[in-house]
Structure 1
Amino acid sequence: MTTAATEDTVRAALATVTDPEIGRPITDLGMVKSIRVAEDGSVDVAIYLTTAGCPLRTEITQRVTKAVADVPGTGAVRVELDVMNDEQRTELRRGLRGDSEPVIPFAQPGSLTRVYAIASGKGGVGKSSVTVNLAAALADRGLKVGVLDADIYGHSIPRMMGTEAKPTQVDSMIMPPASHGVKIISIAMFTSGNTPVVWRGPMLHRALQQFLADVFWGDLDVLLLDLPPGTGDVAISIAQLIPGAEILVVTTPQTAAAEVAERAGAIALQTRQRVCGVVENMSWLTLPDGGRMEVFGAGGGEQVAARLTRAVGSDVPLLGQIPLDPALREAGDAGIPIVLSAPDSPTGSALRAIADRLAVRKRGLAGMSLGIDTTRHL
C-alpha cells in the first residue's frame, strides 16, 4: 500500500531542488510560499521567483514539478509562481551576502578560487577562444567555473558561449547567467545590440569592481578573466582588485607576436603576480595529407615561456600548443566551444589537456614575487 504524500514529504522533496542561478535549495532561499496536499493526493505548490521577469521560471517550474511528482503517493502536481517583494529580496540578499558592503570574494585571504587572467600582447591571437574553451573544459570536469569578460571594448564571450541571457538583479546583487555550466558576466549583457562602449580608465575600473563585487558568483573553483590585449588600464585594475590572480599568456608562433606577448607577461614584475604559463595558439595547420604547415612560423610559445622564466625567476611552462583549425572559429560562432562539440579532435584534445594542467595545479607562493630586493648594498 502506497503511503499518501504529506506536506513534510513534499517539503523534503523541494529541499532537493536548487535554484539554477544561485545553486542552493529553494527551501533555504525562502522561495517556497506554500504547499497544499489534497485528499486525492494532488499537490499545489506556490513558489516565489526573485523577479517578475525571471528568465529561468520555466526551468524552476519543471524542477519543482519533477521533484514533487517523484514523492510516493503524489497525484497531479500544480505549480503556481509568485514574485518576492522588496523586503523578501533584501532578506535573500542578506542571507547570501550579509549586511556588509560588497567585497571582492576572490581578493579575501581565505579564498580558494583559482583566478586566471588570460592575457595577450596583441589582438587576434585567439585569447577569447582559449578562454571560453578552457572554461567549458574545466566545467565539464565537474568544477564550478566563472568567466568575467574583462575586454570591455572588445567583448565577445557571451556570443562564443552561446548565450543572450541577461543577468537578474536581486536587491543590489547581480545574478550572472550560465551557459555550458559556466557562470558568465559581460558588459555586453548591459548594452543594447552592438553598441560600442566609450569609457575612460576610471569607468573601466569601476565596471570591473562591480563585476567582481556586486555579482554573486557563488563558491567557484576557477574564475577566468578574459583581458583586453596589452598592458593598459584593465590589466592594472585586475592586479589591484585581485592581487592573487595569475597570468596566463596567449601567443602565436610568430616572433613579432611572441615579443609583444612577452610584454603582457612581464607586467607581473611590476604587479607582483604569478605567470602560470604560456599557451601557443595557431601553432600549425594540418594538411589533407597529414603534414603540417607552420603558417605563422614556429617557436614563439617556447620563446615567450623561456624569456618569462628568466624574467620572473621561476618556471613559466609552455602549457600547450593549439593547431590552427577552422572548426575552432566555427565553434565559437556557433556558441558551442570545440572542447564540447568535438572534444576528441586535435584542437579539442589540445585545449582539454591545457585545462587538465590548470585543474590540478595547487595554490601556493611558488613563483609569486614577494617584492623583496635581493641586491646587495655595500
Structure 2
Amino acid sequence: MPSLLLDKEKCLENIERMAHRAEQHRLSLRPHCKTHQSANISNWFRDFGVSKITVSSFRMAQYFARAGWNDILVAFPFHPGELKSLQILSEKCLISILVDTPAALPFLNHIRNPVGFYIDVDTGYGRTGVRTENPELIEQIIVKARGNPQLHFKGFYCHAGHSYKVTKQKERESIHQKARSDLAGLKKQFSEHGPRILYGDTPNCSTQNDFRGIDEITPGNFVFYDLVQLSLGVCRQEEIAVVIECPVAGKYNHSRQILIHGGAVHFSKESLTMGGRTVYGQLVQRNENGWSSPVQNTWITGLSQEHGVLEKCGELFNQVSIGDTLLFLPVHSCLSANLAKEYGTLDGDRITNIHSN
C-alpha cells in the first residue's frame, strides 16, 4: 500500500521558521491545520508559542477541540447547515467563524454562547468574501450583527490565494501589497470597532517582509510545502517535509513504462506542468537521511484511481524491480495528506490524523 512519509525534523524546522517570521514582524501566528490535520503535529506548534489555530471545517474544529485547542477559527463562510456543530463547539472553546453576507446572520440569532466572527474579504482572489471596494456591505454586516448579543465582530480575514497563480516574485509582491493596503484601509475605516486583521497564504507569508497593518497570519501549507510551492520559488527542495512511498507494481518493456501503486486516491489529481508534461509527483532518491533532491525529468505522468505511470524514465526502468518502493514529492501536500489515514516517520513511528481509525 502507498504511504505518506514525514520527515519530522524538516517539519519542525518549517514551523520554527514561520514562528520566527511572525515574531520578527510582530505578528501572531494562527496556523491553518487543514494541511496536516493531525492533533499530534498540531502539538508541535505549542513549543513555538502557538496557542490558537485555523481550520477549514467544523468537523476539523471538533477534532482539534478534543485535542485541547481552545481558540479555533473556522475559515469557511458560515452556513446554516453547521449551526448545530457551532452550538456544540461554542460550549467547549472560543470559536470564531467567517461571514461574508448579511444573509447568514439570521441563522445565528439563537446561538446560546458567545461566538466571534470575522468578515471574509476579497482583495482579488475571487473565491469568497466581500470585495474590499464594497465597504457599504461590510457596514451592513456589522450593523446587522449588533442585534445579536452573542455575536461579536472581531475583524477581517483575507486569504490572497491568487498568489498561487503567479510565478514571479514581483507579481506576488503586487498581490500582497494590494491585499495589505486594502486591509489597512478597512482597519482604519472601521477603527471604532477595533478590528484585527488576519491574513494568510503560504506563498506570501513565507516570502514577504512588509506586514504593516496586519495582526495575525494564518498560513498552512508551509508545515510540509510541496512541488507547487517549489515551482513558485516559495521554498527550497530540502524544506519539503513529506513524500509518498509507492510500490512498483509493473514494468512494460514495449513502452518502457513503470506502473506504481499510487493513484488519485493517494496523490489527488492536482497537477503541474513540468518539462512540457502534466505531472502528478516527482521522484526522489531514498538515502540514509530520508530522501535526496528530485530526480530530473522523472515524474508521474499518468494517474487514475489506484494507478500511477512513469514514462520515459531512462535507466530507472532497468534499476527497479516489481516490489521495490519509490518515493515521490506530491504536487499538493494538503490534498495528499487529506487522503492519507496516517503518517509514517523516518524513524518508523506512526502519527495519526483526523482520518485515522
TM-score calculated relative to the size of structure 2: 0.31
**Bigger RCO of structures 1 and 2 (CA < 8 A, at least 6 apart):** 2
Structure with the higher strand share, 1 or 2: 2
Name which one, 1 or 2, has greater alpha-carbon Rg: 1
